[in-house]
A and B are shown apart, each in its own frame.
Chain A
Amino acid sequence: MKRMWKIFVKGLVVENPLLMLMIGLCSSVAVTSSVSNGIGMGLAMTFVIVFAELVISLFRKLIPNDARIPIFIIVIAAFTTMVDLSMQAYFPALSKSMGVFIPLIVVNCIIMGRVEAFASKEKPLDAVVDALGMGLGYTWVLIGIAALRELLGNGTLLGARIMPEAFQPILFFTLPPGGFMVFALFISLNLWLKKKITNGTAVREAA
């Protein structure tokens, strides 16, 4: 149980895919101009990574080493297609506002990276736990960035007005440059968090 927890928790801060490993960045800046987009993208991504890791892990002994990359891509693309089509059917507005970024989950390096580094070697249960950790690590960052940008750039959260009427929305934050700037601040925050965590438990990893 403790081992599972360890696998799960590393995706949140210490090996956070976005802020520490610097992979899968595109969608994190692009869709985070509003919180609902952030949640939608986070969940879509978590769905794909969980099922991709599960399937690859189940078949890990059958997949020939030379052909593994194309096989991974097909599995990931299949789940991405499912997500894309279901979102178009059930959440047309959300799907429209995220545009090309849903189909682009297929080339999100987080999934490819975890499948290659983890799922292709470990047991299915561990792989699912790892995927959940990575997916949530991705989602919290997305929601965090989106919340800050929506609050400052629009004065709202999830479409509901939060800031007082007198607050002048700072347009900068909903525009592309604001996305990059807030992302920079989040990396900085995560580095600080990581330092706290690793100092506290004295399991300093070699950087």
Chain B
Amino acid sequence: MNLAKIFLSALLIDNIVLMRFLALCPFIGMSIDVSKSVGMGLAVTFVTVIATVVTWPLYNFVLLPLNLTFLKILVFILVIASLVQLVEFFLKKNVPGLYASMGIYLPLITTNCAILAVTFDNVSKGFNLIESVVYAVGVALGFMLSLVLLAGVRDRLKTAPIPKFLQGTPILFASTSLLAVAFMGFSGLIK
């Protein structure tokens, strides 16, 4: 029950993009069409889960006993950066098909703040390993959901009459604002 709660609140109520404003750069940059959004979303899900599985034991079994928790920023970002590299090598060699479709998104993920934020959240919320993984999946899918939604909106914007001062990027943020209003409706979903 508790796991479902963590998952839903990560996915909808505290949606990483629309409610917590993380990962805005890829959100604006990659939501050009639905297929790109899904590709980016899958790549992020993949890396977030692996990063969680690696950083959680690292924090709880290495940094915590050694009193080195002040190094967590440095350690976590290095873990994520090297993980992204490893995943890239692995996919290139073993699953070239997937690599070809995901390849361009991978380097971008290192600077996706959602992933680093998830690893920090896991620590600050005191999740155990299973809860952390569920949380990671929820956050990453929430990211994908918001990307797909904005991609849909952008499709319609191409033909919509937009006021002159909002043309270009401003209208994207204005639409995001309206999406965020919709997501605020979820806030009463779980007590």
Residues of A172-207 contacting chain B, CB below 8 A: 175-181, 183-185, 187-188, 191-192
Residues of B136-191 contacting chain A, CB below 8 A: 165-166, 168-174, 176-178, 180-181, 184
User: Of residues A23, A80, A187, which shows the largest number of chain B Cβ atoms within 10 Å of its Cβ?
Assistant: A187
Contact A100 B25 (CB under 8 A): no
Residues of A within 8 A of B81 (CB): 69-70, 73
Contact B174 A181 (CB under 8 A): yes
Nearest-CB distance from A68 to chain B (Å)? Answer: 12
Residues of A47-90 contacting chain B, CB below 8 A: 69-70, 73-74, 77-78, 80-81, 84-85
Say yes or no: A185-B180 contact (C-beta < 8 A), given A22-B25, A78-B74, A100-B117.
Answer: no
Nearest-CB distance from A173 to chain B (Å)? Answer: 11
User: Which of B15-23, B34-42, B59-67, B89-97 participates in binding chain A?
Assistant: B15-23
A191 and B120 CA atoms in complex are apart in Å by: 36
A69 and B77 CA atoms in complex are apart in Å by: 12
Say yes or no: A188-B25 contact (C-beta < 8 A), given A73-B77, A100-B117, A106-B116.
Answer: no
Say yes or no: A180-B169 contact (C-beta < 8 A), given A73-B77, A107-B116, A109-B25.
Answer: no
Residues of B within 8 A of A94 (CB): none
A30 adjacent to chain B (CB < 8 Å): yes
Total chain A interface residues with beta-carbon distance under 8 A: 40
Nearest-CB distance from B78 to chain A (Å)? Answer: 7
Residues of B within 8 A of A191 (CB): 168, 170
Contact B78 A73 (CB under 8 A): yes
Contact A77 B21 (CB under 8 A): no
A44 adjacent to chain B (CB < 8 Å): no
B113 adjacent to chain A (CB < 8 Å): yes
Contact A30 B21 (CB under 8 A): yes
Contact B25 A177 (CB under 8 A): no
Residues of B within 8 A of A163 (CB): none
Residues of B within 8 A of A187 (CB): 168-170, 173
A104 adjacent to chain B (CB < 8 Å): yes
Size class of the B contact interface (CB-based, 8 Å)? 35 or more
A4 adjacent to chain B (CB < 8 Å): no
A131 adjacent to chain B (CB < 8 Å): no
Contact A177 B77 (CB under 8 A): no
Contact B176 A180 (CB under 8 A): yes
Contact A107 B111 (CB under 8 A): yes
Say yes or no: A107-B184 contact (C-beta < 8 A), given A177-B177, A187-B170.
Answer: no
User: Of residues B21, B23, B81, B184, which shows the largest number of chain A Cβ atoms within 10 Å of its Cβ?
Assistant: B21
Binding site for B on A (CB under 8 A): 22-27, 29-30, 69-70, 73-74, 77-78, 80-81, 84-85, 100, 103-104, 106-109, 112, 175-181, 183-185, 187-188, 191-192
